Chains A and B, each alone.
Chain A
Amino acid sequence: MNWLRSFLDKIKPNFEKGGKLYFLHSTFEAFEVFFFVPNKVTEKGSHIRDYVDLKRLMTHVLIALAPIVLFGMFNVGLQHFRLQLGLDIDAWGQVVKEIGFWRIFWYGFLRVLPIIVVSYVSGLAVEFASAQIRHHQVNEGFLVTGMLIALIVPPTIPLWMLSVATIFAVIFGKEIFGGTGMNFLNPALLTRAFLFFAYPASMTGDAIWVASKGLDVISGPTPLALAAQNQFFQSPSLLTMSLGFIPGSIGETSKILIILAAIYLIFTGVANLRVMISALVGAAAMGIIFNLWGANEYMQIPFYYHFFIGGFLFGAIFMATDPVTSAQTPTGKIYYGLLIGIFCILIRVVNPAYPEGAMLAILLMNVFAPLIDHLVVQQNINRRKKRALLSQTIKS
């Protein structure tokens, strides 16, 4: 790759201070470090540094997401053809037999790809522009956010809305706080929340979950919606739900792939196990409480069903664990996760206006994470003060 290196070295002076294209220096650097890890050596402190950098970390999240994206594309196609054929949710096998795997995937691919592209282009445009304005380097944070945004919206989302929402979330959720690492709300969830409250017609209801051509709207309620309408008896089998052949946001449906991704993230050390486990425990606990209470049909849904419907699992694995917006202390992470689980099920079951509790529960806990951490750190401080006091009393 020497020709590329020498080409970059040749054009580099144009982007340096005083060069013609200095106003694009952040952009140039972003591309340069995309091709080559720089030749910078350690100057202070430890002389050796580990090979892992933020880019690699983000890459591993994308690797974990890749199967989910591909499955999401397939499922978008599957749901489309299923309703066209007028078949039941559980009849996915028949759809595949009649339409053919590749035709289904191709349809979904064409629907999902524009969503991914729009999400990335809108977000990265803001990232590059703000890096340029601040004379900073472009951060990698959006590489994951961009994909997450595409995975938590319905396949029918109008692209302009997605673009507006992404731009809003990146500017007001991240850049005004100083960029990657400084934000306190998860930017992907903020995008979804913006869409949810600004364009509710495109984010809620039964008509949006299945992609179709033309104006004839096909209604395909999600299992979550069925539960909220006390029609859970109509919902598909547990197998169909865990495999993910159900209507829903693009990436949230396949629970098996999400769990595989979680195992991958934990194994590589990218995501934190504490948050995931405690979120699941919190949700299960809340579900059991509602089971015992049993005041209405929704409360009587077996608690473990909550893991299979809606976006809770996806949120708990990919959103709640966002290292920037989650609680920072190990103890804090446990409380943070537990509360996410509890609130998610609480919002789902008790508040009929918001069928999906995961988004609001995680955003709420994003806001409270600094408080949780403050309490945990305060305990550490008190422990230290107590120890000092104790040693003083022994002395005197």
Chain B
Amino acid sequence: MKEHFKIKKGLDIPLEGEAPLKDLPDILSDKYAILPPDFRLLTPRLLVQEGDDILAGEPIIQNKINENIFITSPISGKVTAIIRGEKRILKQIIITPKFPQEFKIFNIPTTLDRENIIKLLLESGLWVNIKQRPYGIIANPSDMPKAIYISAFDSSPLAPNPDYLIKGEEENFQKGIDIIKKLTSGPIYLNISSTRNKSDFYKNIKNTELHNFEGPHPVGNVSVQISRISPINKGDIYWYLYPQDVIFIGRLFQNGKLDLHRKIELTGSELTERGYITTLPGISMQALLSNRLKQNNVRVISGNVLTGTNAGLDGFLSYYDNQITVIPEGNYYDFFGWVAPKFTKYSPSRMIMNWLIRNKKKKYVLDTNMHGEERPFVLSDQYDKYFPFDIYPVYLLKAILSENIEQMENLGIYEIVEEDFALPEYVCVSKINLQEIVRKGIDLMIKETT
């Protein structure tokens, strides 16, 4: 253990619906989907047609901008539908699976140098699991990152248990680490949290620099960890990935198959049965949830409540997610809701009277109501408590809104991504969609600087 970092700012929202550490029976869905919108700033070129038979690992989409980057199918089967949205934007590629799974076999190069590794990662489609900072987008294979970050735990609300997700995968994980070690000239920072990562999994992992992070969410965010270990300066590039991605890479280089099977967590207050399930990305929510819902007026989120995607019950698990959260929809009118004391409702603020009777162990059901309407920025210091960076959030947001590139750079746009503004967005009195503003700012930076 090299260093210990303690984060003070942040918040763990006591959300109802934690999943017990148990495996639910496997589910085979009759529908899987590849969702191009999951891959930020990737311009898709479709490589398949309806009716094509595909193997797991065969390319489905090519990136028009960087033609080396492919998205491959996680499952073997037949392409049964291609669904487009407005302006013919590619939204879903539906695959009807064929069991047992048939894998495309990749040739593992005999000499594992950087070039060969990148080539195989690109070909297999696993490249999209490696992301870069700044911006939090898919890494560019022609860059040389200063270091690679792995956040071994997720601190967001109802996040899956980090030990349970990777149990028994030590060998693949070590293999993956050995492979990605060759992608950087610097170290691999493996950041754990001893209060969350309780198992010995990482004890014997070699080739990494282990650091310990404690504190409330967003301590698990890569931005926080980078800001403490080696803050990003203009021109710096870091790559980052998550433990499950390392395991996929390990599997690929062990047996030449793209095997994206992962444990995902079914969680949230509106589920009758919660737990973990081993499955593939793109599985349909219907298959996973249809007989587990308490009621029908729910929001099905692929991911967590702060940063996840509203998938809907007829949607699919997003490529990068290992969690599904189901919470009640908040489409109700709240009579004098702005002045009612709300003794029984959770809020981090003492403006809600719940602090009078709060039991620290109690968990709360939160819904999707906005609880107010959008207003201009009024409070200037409300975000500070939830934003553990040496950045003035309101100034950065205003620089983004005025599209002032130089000022955005000066104020630290390289150091953050959308998810870092999720907690400020949750507490925002003015109900401003901060993550959307940050996303637009990042889009603008990429457009203007490349």
Contacts and interface: CB of A to CB of B under 8 A. Distances in A.
B338 to A, nearest CB: 4
Given A47-B310, A328-B380, A387 B369 contact: no
B368 A54 contact: no
Most buried by A among B348, B350, B352: B350
Contact of B336 (A35, A50, A388): A35
Interface in A1-40: 1, 4-5, 33, 35-40
Given A45-B436, A137-B373, A270-B351, A51 B425 contact: no
Interface stretch (B110-118, B210-218, B298-306): B298-306
Given A39-B333, A39-B369, A324-B378, A46 B425 contact: yes
Nearest to B157: A48
Interface string A263-275: 0000111101000
B66 to A, nearest CB: 27
Contact of B350 (A41, A267, A329, A384): A267
A33 to B, nearest CB: 6
Contact of B339 (A38, A59, A326, A330): A59
Given A60-B351, A267-B350, A391-B233, A51 B394 contact: no
A56 interface: yes
Size bracket of the B interface: 35 or more
Interface in A41-92: 41-57, 59-60
Residue from the set B307, B331, B375, B435 with the largest chain A CB neighbour count within 10 Å: B375
Nearest to B336: A35
Interface in B354-386: 366-373, 375-381, 384
A55 B375 CA distance: 10
A46 B381 contact: no
Interface residues of A, number: 60
B99 to A, nearest CB: 34
A328 B394 contact: yes
A42 B370 contact: yes
Contact of A387 (B231, B370, B410, B433): B231
A181 B375 contact: yes
A337 B421 CA distance: 29
A45 B427 contact: no
Main secondary structure of the interface of B (DSSP, over half): loop
Contacts of A93: none
Interface string A315-340: 00000000110101110010000000
Nearest to B412: A384
A132 interface: no
A147 B204 CA distance: 66
A47 B299 contact: yes
B304 to A, nearest CB: 9
Interface in A353-396: 377, 380-381, 383-385, 387-388, 391-392
Contact of A329 (B308, B377, B392): B392
Contacts of B327: 47-48
A179 interface: yes
Nearest to B325: A47
Contact of B371 (A52, A141, A268, A383): A52
B333 A56 contact: no
B297 to A, nearest CB: 10
A326 B336 CA distance: 30
A391 B371 CA distance: 45
B411 A53 contact: no
Given A41-B369, A59-B338, A182-B376, A50 B349 contact: yes
Nearest to A270: B351
Contacts of A33: 338, 373
Contact of B433 (A44, A50, A333): A44
B375 A139 contact: yes
4 closest Cβ pairs, A-B complex:
A53-B372, A181-B376, A37-B337, A388-B233
11 contacts: A36-B333, A40-B369, A44-B436, A48-B368, A48-B426, A49-B370, A51-B345, A53-B372, A53-B429, A57-B378, A60-B351
Interface of B: 13, 15, 231, 233-236, 299, 301, 305-308, 310, 325, 327, 329-339, 342, 345, 347-352, 366-373, 375-381, 384, 390-392, 394-395, 410-412, 418, 422, 425-431, 433-436
